[in-house]
Amino acid sequence: MTRARRKKVKFNTIRLKGGIKSALKKKSRSILEGLAQSKSALKKKSRSILEGLAQSKSALKKKSRSILEGLAQSKSALKKVYTETYMVACDSATVNKEHEVWQAETAHLQDTSGASIIKCQDIFKHDEEEEPIRCVVTKGVAGIGKTVAVQKFILDWANGIENQNLDLLILLSLRDLNLIKHRQCSLHGLLQGLYPELKDIDIKMYFDHKILFIIDGLDEIQLPLEFQKNIPISDVSESATLDGILTNLITGRLLPNALLWITSRPVAANRIPPESRDRVTEIRGFGDSQKDVYFIKGNQ
């Protein structure tokens, strides 16, 4: 090979190496820019979720801090009038089928010496050796204080007092659901429609955050709750009947890591399959000391 030829080959080799190096730099720069954009998008999405959670907490706090009392339905601050009701843990395998009028009239005669008293804010707590509690069913006759207990639970959480392991509480109003009982939608779409503060939240939220769904007043629902017939669904973005969404949420096929609290009159509570009830509690009203506290607060 001549000297001129060797110089030409060396020049081409250097140019080739330079081209490869330039291409690699360009590709690396493109990858880094892509990563930066991806990181920025994730930050934006995460910020959107956190903002939605904060807005949801604020809305629930505002909604739960007051209560309507008496025949005149006058509004009072919940924290001023709330008196803790007598709640006991029951056998989760069975739900009392007695007529609620009979239950109300005989509640004071029930033997509670062996009953395990439980505070409303502790319904999901369990011993370390026990299985985690996913679904709690709280039963009680009409007017006994189920909805007020739900309000107090929500308010204490929103004020940062209790159950701070929960990132989001979602209260499903049966009255609202009855208005759309024939609608076909996904769980994600349902929540976006019911709660404006959640409309921009990504479905990633359901898996990265601890959520408690509260179904207050199951006895008011105008749906068949066909646990055996409804198609199993596990995707929050999958469309189904409202009945299908609720039954899959209750059984844990849909969002198995989410917690669920259902309140109901005694007979309607029996519609929930025994295997889906991890804990059953019953509100039995006030004990004698609680009655005194209630009347003192009411007259202040």
Residue type, 208: D
Question: Could you give the percent of the chain with pLDDT greater than 90?
Answer: 47
- The whole-number pLDDT of residue 108 equals 43
Instruction: Locate the DSSP E strands across the chain.
Output: 66-69, 74-77, 87-90, 116-117, 135-139, 168-173, 184-185, 211-216, 240-241, 259-264, 279-283
Highest mean pLDDT among 15-29, 35-49, 258-272: 258-272
Task: Report which listed range, 69-73, 84-88, 111-115, 279-283, is most confident.
Answer: 279-283
Average pLDDT rounded to a whole number, residues 82-86: 82
pLDDT at 2: 64
Structure-model confidence comparison of residues 12 and 179, the more confident one: 179
Is 49 within 8 Å of 202 (Cβ atoms)? yes
Range with the poorest average pLDDT among 82-86, 173-177, 212-216, 220-224: 82-86
CA dihedral sign, ordered 73, 177, 251, 234: negative
Nearest in space to 190 (alpha carbons), one of 231, 150, 250, 245? 245
Q: Does residue 298 have a pLDDT over 60? A: no
Residues in the chain: 300
| Predicted local distance difference test score (pLDDT) of residue 70 | 59
Predicted confidence band of residue 285 (pLDDT cuts 50, 70, 90):
confident
159 pLDDT above the threshold of 80: yes
Closest by alpha carbon to 120, among 279, 288, 250? 279
Higher-confidence residue of 271 and 78: namely 271
Tokens coding 35: 């990563």
Bridge partners (DSSP) listed for residue 213? 170, 260
Residue-level pLDDT at 7? 55
Domains recognised in the chain with CATH numbers: 46-64+86-284 (3.40.50.300)
Q: Are strands 211-216 and 259-264 parallel, antiparallel or unpaired?
A: parallel
Of the ranges 24-28, 78-82, 130-134, which one carries the lowest mean pLDDT score? 24-28
pLDDT at 281 over 60: yes
Measure the CA–CA gap between 155 and 54, rounded to whole angstroms: 14
Decide if pLDDT at 283 tops 90. Answer: yes
pLDDT at 109 over 50: no
* Global confidence as pTM: 0.78
Residues 38-79 have pLDDT tens digits of: 555 445 556 667 787 888 889 898 988 888 765 556 678 887
Is residue 228 pLDDT above 90, yes or no? yes
Query: What are the b/e assignments for 271-293, b being 16+ CB within 10 Å?
Result: bbeeebbbbbbbbbbbeeeeeee
Residue 31 has pLDDT above 80, yes or no: no
**The pLDDT of residue 289 is above 60:** no
Find the helix or strand (DSSP H, E) in which 41 lies.
Answer: helix 3-64
In the block, residue with structure tokens 């519609």: 271
